[in-house]
Chains A and B, each alone.
Chain A
Amino acid sequence: MSLSTAGTPLLTAQSLGLVRGGRELFCELSVEVHGGQLWHIEGPNGAGKTSLLRILCGLSRYGFEGEVLRSVTPLYLGHQPAVKALLSPRENLQWHVSGEGLYRDERIDIALGRVGLCGYEDVPSHTLSAGQHRRVNLARLFLSSARLWLLDEPFTAIDQQGVNETQSLLASHVDGGGAVVMTSHQSLQVKCKVHTLSLRHGVIA
């Protein structure tokens, strides 16, 4: 895996089309995601935001039209936090199944501190709340070296302060040459430019 140059897009989607249950969610959707861009996919419930994100990250491989090219390995955070209740937050990050890296304890401590889980590093995760599970998952953003982040509703169950901190993290990732593609029902208040992809009634705005 080599780092792509600034000119080549991190992610290219060509004329994507998806039909679910007889309804066309989107068609002829083409997008190029370059480093330094933040893409916000918006649309009402059932508009196909999650389906689109799953196609972009490679979890959905069949049943849609078009082509997706990824020049880097993306970091994908889905609806479910992928946090094991039987493991502590530290173990969850240390032994994460995403195979991204082997992290030292200090780095994990820092990442958990940044998401407000200082003091919770070694308690079993089943004693944590749903929001704290999501925060453990968000801590991966601080550890990851992936340039492309695909985030599905990253603010769900996160309190207002956490949302603000996550948004500034996204902005700094984009400033550092990374790219973010995310879905959210909340409006983004970030300092960088937000590219919006609207999925409404099968029409690309």
Chain B
Amino acid sequence: MSAPHTGQFCVLLLRRQLLLAMRRPIDIANPLLFFTMVIVLFPLGLGPAPDKLASFAPGVLWITALLSNLLTSDAVFRSDFDDGSLEQLILAPQPLFLSALAYISAHWLTTGLLLALLSPVFALMLNLPGSALVTLVVSLLLGTAVLSLLGGIGAALTVGLKRGGMLISLLILPLYMPVLIFGSAAVQAAVTGAPSGPYLAILGAMLSLAIALAPLAIAAGLRISIDA
């Protein structure tokens, strides 16, 4: 019996994580419900004037997406740490950073992807012009992937702590900021009719950088957390 190839193992981990997520649908629904509730609160707080809402919409949508991502990033490695699976993953002969990438991919597929696909519905609720919807979805697709990768670093570093929730926010919120700035700027540009391409390109560049470097940081973080 030979060990599975690295590629096979990553696919196996991805399927395992997705199946685990499907078995607990509430974990998938939670961030989406949070997103919905917060979006619904804004018209109540800011007043229902359509013009006003439209001007706030890009920022509101992006901040809410960011917070709902922050809400779930703590849980990426938590249950595996609690039941000892993480020790086994670290001892696996396959490279840990690719395994970490599989975990993050599963996390993004069950949070960021769904949120980006659902976002047009909420955008219409906030009276975001229809012309900006495509940009919104694309910017969220790219941006939430970066957020998942960055959140993974925080999750890996704090997984050994009993109450890591607050610490993880402090650790990764500064890293989230550039994503928020360029993400909401892309949508804002689309609203005003300016080209949003450059902003999306920068988000794409951030994603490339995060895919290349974050898994290494996550792997190192996991080793430190298990060692401690």
Q: Which residue of A lies closest to B23 (CB)?
A: A86
At the interface, yes or no: A100 with Cβ under 8 Å from chain B? yes
CB contacts under 8 Å to B, within A18-57, are: 57
Min C-beta distance of A68 to chain B, whole Å: 13
Q: Which of A63, A79, A97, A102 has the most CB of B within 10 A?
A: A97
Please determine whether A97 and B4 come into contact, CB atoms closer than 8 angstroms: no
Given known A-B contacts A1-B93, A59-B91, A63-B227, A99 and B84 have beta carbons under 8 A apart: no
CB contacts under 8 Å to A, within B6-51, are: 8-9, 12-13, 15-16, 19-20, 23-24
Interface residues on A, range: 20 to 34
- Docked CA distance A59–B88 (Å): 9
Contacts of A145 in B (CB 8 A): 1
Please determine whether A82 and B88 come into contact, CB atoms closer than 8 angstroms: yes
- Docked CA distance A67–B57 (Å): 58
Please determine whether B85 and A84 come into contact, CB atoms closer than 8 angstroms: yes
- Docked CA distance A87–B18 (Å): 12
Contacts of B20 in A (CB 8 A): 84, 86-87
Min C-beta distance of B226 to chain A, whole Å: 6
Using a CB–CB cutoff of 8 Å, the interface residues on chain B facing chain A are: 1-4, 8-9, 12-13, 15-16, 19-20, 23-24, 79-80, 82-94, 99, 223, 226-227
Can you pick out 23 interface pairs between chain A and chain B where the beta carbons lie within 8 Å of each other? A57-B91, A59-B90, A61-B227, A74-B91, A76-B87, A80-B84, A80-B87, A82-B83, A83-B83, A86-B24, A87-B20, A87-B23, A97-B16, A97-B80, A97-B99, A98-B91, A99-B9, A99-B93, A99-B94, A101-B3, A102-B8, A102-B12, A145-B1
Using a CB–CB cutoff of 8 Å, the interface residues on chain A facing chain B are: 1, 57-63, 73-74, 76, 78-87, 91, 95-103, 143, 145
